Amino acid sequence: MRAELSVSEARRIALTAQGFNALSRGGDVSVTQLRKLTGRLGLVQIDSVNVLVRAHYLPHFSRLGAYSRARLDAVVAAKPKRFFEYWGHEASLLPIDCHPLLRWRMARALRGKGVWKPLEPFASERRGEADAMLDRVRAEGPLAASDVTGNRASKGMWVWSDAKHALEWLFWAGLVAATHRRGSFERVYDLPERVLPRTILQCPTPRGIDARRMLLARSAEALGIATADDLRDYYRIPAADVPPLLEQLVEEGTIAPVRVRGWQQQAYLHKDARAGRKIEGSALLSPFDPLIWHRPRVERLFGFRYRLEIYTPAHKREHGYYVLPFMLDGALVARVDLKADRKVGTLMIQRAHVEPAAPGCTVERLLAELCLLASWLGLSSIAVAPAAEIDPAFVARGAIG
């Protein structure tokens, strides 16, 4: 491939790498397809926000169409485990062979490094409490934080936040593993040897720097073409490690430096990356989709400014609480703020906005995609929320009145 590429070529490479090159969204989606796509992405982010549907279900819908969520649950739960939960990008579902590559992160957490600040004391002055919790998991597991509430009166030690924090630190440090999520999406923990395959636990632990190089290589494969910052962000690699590791990957032939016209930063192309044919089809994208979770990359590839506004006060939000960009034929052309009102079986449109350069068919194609989404979620209707902010383009084209 040439040493200089256009943004359009870079975009096709990125979309192909992320599984959008063949939007054959229809028919029965098999377990094998779900498994292959999860592995191809390298990780799928998990998030507790459930205003529409849990975040880890959406990337598969965006690429494969209306699949069975129960089938994806079965893929994740299957024994021996092919996927496990840990901190990849954020909380993530990862291929099981990634476990040895993340043990450096577990080792850092064991020393109280790289974890959420309230968890740091469990590596030092509160280590005894963490060990007591580990003993309890060993004796009674699997356990969730809610299983150990109410013990303050009997033992004078645990309250909800203590139990949850101790378990979270043990999980971060790799001393417990997640068996599954239950009920209100609560993580359930057990000993790693009772959750993960023995063959994985017996795999040698690579040096931290080597593991991070391998993670960067996986980032490059999943992204196709990317800057150093894009590659770092995918698995949240320490920034100081990235430049020398990229040099090694270039020397090995895993990636090659290329220039993308209009980009200020150096780009890197994975050795197996392909531009593919013209990207056709439509898809709604989760805010946590790996294609768009690194916002500077979205602007470089698509010329589309996108921000997650979940934690922004309502009166300061520009586009809404849970906004999904709409991709049409490889371009981001609209965005919709959506909510599933499960009580009445309705997909609620809170806000909708069409980009200035969007083609004339955008509203029609977006509405078709919303119908597909509603059906997949088991919702029988689509409605505009009271006081919704709807782009005049929708009304002008007779789509929404």
Q: What is the pLDDT along the chain (401 residues), one digit of tens a residue?
A: 678 999 999 999 999 999 997 656 778 999 999 999 999 999 999 999 999 999 999 999 999 999 999 999 999 999 999 999 999 999 999 999 999 999 999 999 999 999 999 999 999 999 999 999 999 999 998 999 999 864 443 444 444 588 899 999 999 999 999 999 998 899 999 999 999 999 999 999 999 999 999 999 999 999 999 999 999 999 999 999 999 999 999 999 999 999 999 999 999 999 999 987 788 899 999 999 999 999 999 999 999 999 999 989 989 999 999 999 999 999 999 999 999 999 999 999 999 999 999 999 999 999 999 999 999 999 999 999 887 777 776 655 545 54
Predicted TM-score (pTM) of this structure: 0.93
The rounded distance, in Å, linking the Cα atoms of 253 and 106 is: 29
Residue 295 lies in a domain: no
Strands 381-390 and 346-354, sheet pairing:
parallel
pLDDT of residue 91: 96
Domain limits at 392?
Answer: 307-396
Q: What is the pLDDT of residue 131?
A: 97
Give residue 373's pLDDT. 98
**Residue that terminates a domain, selected from 195, 229, 257:** 195
Q: What pLDDT shows up at residue 24? A: 61
Report yes or no: 14 and 291 within 8 Å, Cβ to Cβ. Answer: yes
By DSSP bridging, strand 83-87 and strand 91-95 are: antiparallel
Q: How many domains does the structure of the chain reveal?
A: 3
Please indicate, yes or no, whether residues 45 and 110 belong to a single structural domain of this protein. Answer: no
The pLDDT value given to residue 184: 86
The tokens of 388 are what?
A: 């919704």
Q: What CA–CA distance (Å, rounded) separates 228 from 269? A: 11
Task: Decide if 250 is inside a domain.
Answer: yes
Domain termination site, one of 174, 195, 216: 195
Are residues 84 and 219 part of one domain? Answer: yes
* Tokens (6 digits) for 319: 């586009």
Separation in Å, CA 209 to CA 178, 233, 237, 399: 26, 16, 10, 54
Q: How far apart are CA 262 and CA 10, in angstroms?
A: 11
**Rounded-to-integer distance, Cα 309 and Cα 131, Å:** 38
Other CB atoms within 10 A of residue 358 CB: 20
d(CA 179, CA 194): 9
The last residue of one of the domains, among 195, 228, 256, is 195
85 and 108: one domain?
A: no
Amino acid occupying residue 147: D
With CA atoms as reference, report the closest residue to 257 among 300, 227, 218: 227
Residue 287 lies in a domain: no
SS3 115: coil
pLDDT of residue 396: 57
Query: Has residue 288 been placed in a domain?
Result: no
* Shared-domain flag, residues 189 and 224: no
Give the model's pLDDT for residue 392: 73
Q: What is the pLDDT of residue 154?
A: 41
Co-location of 180 and 106 in the same domain: yes
Based on the fold, state whether residues 123 and 142 are members of the same structural domain. yes
CA separation, residue 329 to residues 15, 223, 311 (Å) = 11, 18, 31
What pLDDT does residue 394 have? 67
Query: How many angstroms separate the CA atoms of 211 and 4, rounded?
Result: 30
181 vs 365: CA distance, rounded Å: 35
Q: Does residue 14 sit in the same domain as residue 80?
A: yes
Question: Do 215 and 265 belong to one domain?
Answer: yes
Contact of 227 with 297, CB cutoff 8 Å: yes
The pLDDT of residue 356: 93
